[in-house]
Amino acid sequence: MVNITINGNAIQVPSGTTVLRAAEQAGITIPTLCDHPDLHPFGGCRLCVVEVQGARLPMASCTLPVNEGMVVTTESPALTKSRRTILELLMSNYYDSGYKDGQKETTQFMRWVKHYGISVKKAQAPAPRYPVNSDPNPVIWVDMNKCILCTRCVRACAEIQGRFVWSQGGRGFNTRIVAGAETTMLEARCETCGACVAFCPTGALDNRLSMGAGKPSTVVTTTCAYCGVGCQIDLNVKDNHIIRVTSNPDASVNGMAMCVKGRYGYDYVHHPERLSKPQVRRYLLKGEPKPKASAGANPGENSDPLWDWVETDWDTALRITAEKIAQARDQHGADSVGVLTSAKCTNEVNYLMNKFTRQVVGTNNIDHCARL
């Protein structure tokens, strides 16, 4: 452990911790843009500079490791002036075209711009340098006029997803973030996972499906229903509709990472043909014998109303299912029953289905839809 002092507070942190992370542990906020706890430190934006006793110049706290006895100051008139200057320089290349973006809240960049009292209209570039909506990606909106070259998208794509889609092109004032060798995102092997969107602090990368949707009225944390990994996601809900899905940084399984289905495949929830309640045949609800089907007709094509599907509650549907499985097992043997599980269930649910099939029903007739 290393003993340091930050803003007069004596704290202990493990050796190798950066000053920025040490301050976070002490509940002290240091402004930053290019840094993210899930990514390797970059030290590019210089917004997180702090004063260190004995050092000639302010130092970037995101890349500065702690040393025994270090004395750090995170706020001073000189640091405030430095941060304002940095933000004004970043704003000189920033341009907001005025469209309604899909951010769930004010971007991290705008939060610090407003915190230090900088006027967006006065400080931003006089005209856009790049076309808005510049990439045909079906789910990711690209507006490089809002890019501040923090490279969080580059590092997220490389370090978390391992796709290496984004990189830097050009030199000096013309340096910019590009996909591949200045191609489209899909041509650069993008798998549209949206990690770059999740890590972008300015809105240069956004969710196309959420553009203009506004802010959610509530955020619901749930488990993604697409596979058995069990990723935790946040559903942003407005007017009882999901308007976007965002990463949950506290998720123990996936953190900020998600696949394209988990982040963008949520429209099925509101599909008009989606069943929201269990349905059973009318004859089962009435407890009557199975009616005979018309010759050459499928059960759904029979005119007998006892064949109709009827909505019911879960307790009733599960009771009828259990009774029918038990009846088939008792009358025709356990191997007359087969169970098909789902790849959209969690591993825990599929484990329980395996136990149910083999130990409760007493058969090995179980398969998985991912193998079919």
Mean pLDDT over the full length of the chain: 92
Q: What is the mean pLDDT of residues 291-310?
A: 74
Does the pLDDT at position 295 exceed 70? no
Q: Which residues, in sequence order, are bridge partners of residue 173? A: none
Bridge-based pairing of strands 232-238 and 218-223 is antiparallel
Which pLDDT band holds residue 300 (cuts at 50, 70, 90)? low
- For residue 86 the two structure tokens come to 């940095």
Q: Do residues 260 and 227 lie in contact, with contact meaning Cβ atoms separated by under 8 Å?
A: no
In whole angstroms, give the CA distance from residue 236 to residue 222.
Answer: 11
Tell me what pLDDT residue 370 has.
72
pLDDT tens digits for range 47-105? 999 999 999 999 999 999 999 999 999 999 999 999 999 999 999 999 999 888 776 56
- In the three-class reduction of DSSP (H, G, I as helix; E, B as strand; rest coil), residue 233 is classed as strand
Q: What's domain 216-274's architecture?
A: Single Sheet (2.20)
Extents of the domains making up the chain: 2-75, 216-274, 279-371
Does the pLDDT at position 127 exceed 60? yes
pTM, two decimals, is 0.85
Tell me what pLDDT residue 371 has.
65
**Alpha helix stretches (DSSP H) within 304-346:** 314-332
Between vectors from CA 249 to CA 247 and to CA 255, what angle results, nearest 5°? 80
| CATH, domain 2-75, list 3.40.50.300, 3.40.190.10, 3.10.20.740, 3.30.930.10 | 3.10.20.740
